[in-house]
Structure 1
Amino acid sequence: MIAAFGLFFREWLYLLKRPRTLIIMIFIPIFVTCICGMSFSAGSFSHLKMGVVDYSYTAKTREVVEAFQQSSYFDVVGYYENEEQIEKAMKDGEIVGCIIFPGDFTTNLQQGRQAEVLLGSSAVNMGYGSTINLRGAEILGTLSTQTAVKSLVAKGYTVDDGLAKMNPVGFYTRQWYNPTNNFGYFLTFGFVIATVQQVLIYFAAISLAREKESGKLGEIKKVNPIFQVVIKALVYYIISMGTWAVCCWLIVNKYGIPMKGSFDVWFGYSSLFFLSVIAMGQLFSAIMPNPVFATSFSLVFTSPSLVLSGFTWPTMAFTSFYQKLAQVFPLTHFVIGYRNVAFMGIGFDAVHDEMMILGYISGGCLILSCVIWLIKVKRIEKKEQALRISEEEPDIQAVAQ
């Protein structure tokens, strides 16, 4: 037991003597949390710069332009002569979207025909494109309804009758759990946890391999190799959970992103995820011949996980092969469920299956790590013993002579 405690504190001492390691493990995830929190603090796009091409240029078209200008989502920066100038302005970064009125826009309105307007966007950034399409359509739809109702009122209809005639099926929308389409709600937790994962698996993959590489296995020989794996895992678990707790506190209290889940669900779910990452990293560490191979393989292995996890793009959109491949990564079984815990306040029942899978990954990788490391340590000890015997034989022969 004393030897086990000695190894526990020895691992801490190793980290404390290398402040760069602790900076990477603790402060990099916190730094990423601050970056995400500040970057997504607005929650959605606003004041998107729009250009106008108006081949009609009447009071009606100016009314439409004014409606866009009054919206907090758009800033109309100026008029352009044609679409070629619009395209050049987009390339130069002057605008990200445009409104183009054809020459017959007002005439069609006056004669009771449908008047079309082109709502364009630079979809190089999909956020710009989706916001312009969604919010622009809302403005144009509202203006269209108002114009039609005014026309019907002029013919003797009441306002209510006019609305009923123009919109026989009324509807309204409601979004649960993220009513304002806040990008920060959607992205922050995932980017932060992916950062913690990459940092954690990197150092977990070093933890065993560096002992062999440095030739210092003798310093911990009093501790069973199985306990060596478990104790090192415990150290990195404590660091990762502490770092994650600070990141979550910042996300919730400083950047206002909700956490509706209970503490016990947060703790249990997070614990299983970090244990699975640590165990996977230690498995790479036990298998690979040196720290360089171990860390390189771990980072290459986990790099696709942010995409395949379904966090940025739903797994239902993947082919069956990639859906199955995604199940290998712990992140797949954490980020979506955790986001539901945070925003919906769901309990253990809703994430039971994901927690079970994380438990299987943790247990399986940890057992394999222990077995492989035990075998490797025994082989190293046999080689060292054989080397000592070969070195002692000349001395024995000399004494005998």
Structure 2
Amino acid sequence: MFRKQSQSKGRTLRPSQQRRDWRVGPFSFKRFMTLMQREWRLFTSNQVAMLIFIGAPVAYALIIGLVYKGAALRDLPVAVVDLDNTPLSNKLIDALDANQYIRVARVMPAADNPRSLMVDDRMAAVITIPDRFEADIQQKRHPEVNVDVDGANMLTANYASTGIQTTLAVMNAGMEIEGLKKKGTPAAIAAEQFESFKITINRYYNPSSNYLLFLFPGMLGTIMQQVFLIVLALSFAREYEDGTFRDLVRYTRRPLNLLFAKTVPYFLIGIAIWFPLINIFFPAFHLQMPANQWLFYLVSVLFLSAVTFMGVAVSIMMKNQLKATEVLMVIATPSFIISGQTWPLEYMPKGVQMLSNTIPLTHYLQAFRAMTTYGATAVELKPQITALLILNGVFLLMAWGALRYKIKRAHII
């Protein structure tokens, strides 16, 4: 019997008698469908993944469509300094106000510093009609209309320039042609001589229309916010996954102590990265640095702390790292589009504006542009500083409340 067993063990089976391994066998449609069904069950069991995969494209398409719904900027506010105050200058002002791209928001008899209207009153441009404008035209002296355009936002500057130049050119031609026709000049000849007044356009705050200056700060700030949110998404969520949350709380039962102990290292690393990044790359690319360095540091600290508390609040609320990262990326992805860095925030729907104001990046980029292009002071940046302080408080309170709840739920307190 033992011999038979040994013989059977040592006997080599023919290939047809060997059992085939189904994993390396021929293609089976049934097995393929089974695997697909398994993957579908895994996907549908992850609610966050389903929300992002299905809801995010719809939500982003809706947001982008609402942001750029107007297709073109209209009714950009401009100021007119009318030093002449005659029927002809009033006619010119009415023509400017009728243009689709601009609206005359203010008319003043004089202005000591027209450029200050761009900074303080957020005018897209300032048109100055000179003294004796009507009289000089009648006497063929060709007076000069001066146009100062705010070039900080290239998009608004281009629309404002187009609207102003078109209106002034039409008025210029119309005045000259009508004057020549009254003198008996044939219409064809009159149409060739159509300059009643000169037009001078000056661009300030990025006069060369440097696209790098326009885009670089916004993209850099967006990347910094996303990096912060990704890293901080892992802070508390990893403790839950690894089962070390109870061990963490044994060090202290105070939520604020835990909160700052977990966030301060990331915050300090962020400062150590962000400040040298600006101080190295801005001069390297010949970009204007903020005039007030200490104000820049203050606003940057408020921005980084707000992003830190925002990220850690979501990390505390989510059960694992993947979900925390997914939620924060949903928040961060459209932040640049709705920040107002390219398309002006005031031309977006109210709902989008409200959403934008809850994201730290919006207020930081507004402050950053004001510091680099206008040389804004702390008083002028009060709205942005106040907004960042409020967001810091709100996100800190959310993180503290969520962490306190998690500790109580774990029966630690």
Q: TM-score range with shorter-chain normalisation?
A: 0.5 to 0.7
In the other structure, the counterpart of 1:321 is 351
- Alignment match of 1:221 (pick from 246, 250, 253): 250
Amino acid at match of 2:228: L
Amino acid at match of 2:259: V
After the TM superposition, which residues 373-384 of structure 1 pair with which residues of structure 2 at under 5 Å, given as runs? Answer: 373-382=403-412
Amino acid at match of 2:250: K
Amino acid at match of 2:296: W
Matched, 1:351 2:385: no
In the other structure, the counterpart of 1:154 is none
3-state secondary structure, aligned to 1:349: coil
3-state secondary structure, aligned to 2:331: helix
Native 8 Å contact 2:290 2:296 kept in 1 = no
In the other structure, the counterpart of 2:238 is 210
The alpha-carbon deviation at position 202 of structure 1 amounts to 1.1
Q: Please list every run of 5 or more consecutive structure 2 residues that lacks an aligned counterpart in the other structure.
A: 1-153, 174-189
3-state secondary structure, aligned to 1:305: coil
After the TM superposition, which residues 355-374 of structure 1 pair with which residues of structure 2 at under 5 Å, given as runs? Answer: 355-374=385-404
Native 8 Å contact 2:299 2:367 kept in 1 = no
TM-score (norm 1): 0.53
CA gap of 1:277–1:377, structure 2 versus 1, over 3 A, is same
3-state secondary structure, aligned to 1:260: coil
Higher helix share: 1
Matched, 1:273 2:328: no
CA distance in 1, matches of 2:290, 2:238: 41
In the other structure, the counterpart of 1:109 is none
3-state secondary structure, aligned to 2:268: helix
The alpha-carbon deviation at position 307 of structure 1 amounts to 0.7
Amino acid at match of 1:187: L
Give CA deviations for 1:334-372 in whole Å, capped at 9, x if unaligned: 112211111211111111111111111111211221221
Amino acid at match of 1:193: G
Deviation >3 Å, runs of 4+:
none
Q: Percent identity?
A: 25
- More off after superposition, 192-201 vs 346-355: 346-355
Give CA deviations for 1:207-244 in whole Å, capped at 9, x if unaligned: 11111211123155213332111122211111111211
Amino acid at match of 1:183: Y
Q: Name the larger-Rg structure.
A: 2
- Alignment match of 1:250 (pick from 280, 288, 296): 280
After the TM superposition, which residues 131-170 of structure 1 pair with which residues of structure 2 at under 5 Å, given as runs? Answer: 166-170=194-198
Amino acid at match of 1:195: I
User: Number of residue pairs matched?
Assistant: 232
Native 8 Å contact 1:259 1:345 kept in 2 = no
CA distance in 1, matches of 2:239, 2:207: 52
Q: Please list every run of 5 or more consecutive structure 1 residues that lacks an aligned counterpart in the other structure.
A: 1-125, 146-161, 386-401
3-state secondary structure, aligned to 1:174: strand
CA distance in 2, matches of 1:358, 1:255: 28
TM-score (norm 2): 0.52
- Alignment match of 1:306 (pick from 307, 330, 336): 336
Matched, 1:176 2:177: no
Native 8 Å contact 1:197 1:277 kept in 2 = yes
CA gap of 1:219–1:279, structure 2 versus 1, over 3 A, is closer
CA distance in 1, matches of 2:230, 2:286: 30
In the other structure, the counterpart of 2:216 is 188
Native 8 Å contact 1:261 1:343 kept in 2 = no
Amino acid at match of 1:284: V
Native 8 Å contact 1:205 1:281 kept in 2 = yes
- Higher normalized contact order (CA 8 Å, seq sep 6+, divided by chain length): 1
